[in-house]
Amino acid sequence: MKLALALAVLMSVALPAYAQSLGEKTGVNAIVGRSPSTMDFVTELALSDMFETKSSELAAVRGDQKARDFAATMIEDHQKSSSELSLIVKPHIDKTPLPSKLDKGHQARIDKLKKLDGAEFTKAYFKEQVAAHEAAVSLLERYRKSGSDADLKAFAEKLLPGIRHHLEMAKSSVS
């Protein structure tokens, strides 16, 4: 027990500056409804946008017409929110750097999608979009409610209706 506690403390200190906190990374914060730290919020939101854009770029090539239409909306909307997030974070970039590539978990999900085609791809793509948008809604709601940065709280508030709409669109496409 002492070893596990010591290891957890060491891991939390040794994580790179842009890494998520253990609570956010494991999903514990979402389960208990705890607001993410500003750094975790920015990191998770940036990764979410990157994942939804990259998976949608795949759908634009591999999916059926419904997936391609949905993907076009995802690419446009998530590139826009990524740009807006960059502008908000830019003055604080030393404290809260944006990730430049997907983390291992998101990349593994992209790699799995790359192995699929046709109806199998489309079904997996929409399931991934549902999961990604459910996580994004949770992240945005939790930060909007209790986050520490006023600009980012306002940004979360602004994004929520669109992300909820994306979620409903994705859910209606899962068969």
Tens digits of residue pLDDT in 116-168: 999 999 999 999 999 999 999 999 999 999 999 999 999 999 999 999 999 99
Q: Higher model confidence: residue 30 or residue 16?
A: 30
Output the pTM of the full model: 0.80
Please report the pLDDT score of residue 97 as a whole number: 74
Write the pLDDT tens digit of every residue in 6-23.
333 333 333 333 344 555
CATH of domain 34-173: 1.20.1260.10
In tens, the pLDDT along 42-100 reads: 999 999 999 999 999 999 999 999 999 999 999 999 999 999 999 998 887 666 678 99
The confidence score (pLDDT) of residue 140 equals: 96
pLDDT tens track for 130-143: 999 999 999 999 99
Confidence at residue 161, expressed as pLDDT on a 0 to 100 scale = 97
Q: What is the largest CA-CA distance in the chain?
A: 55
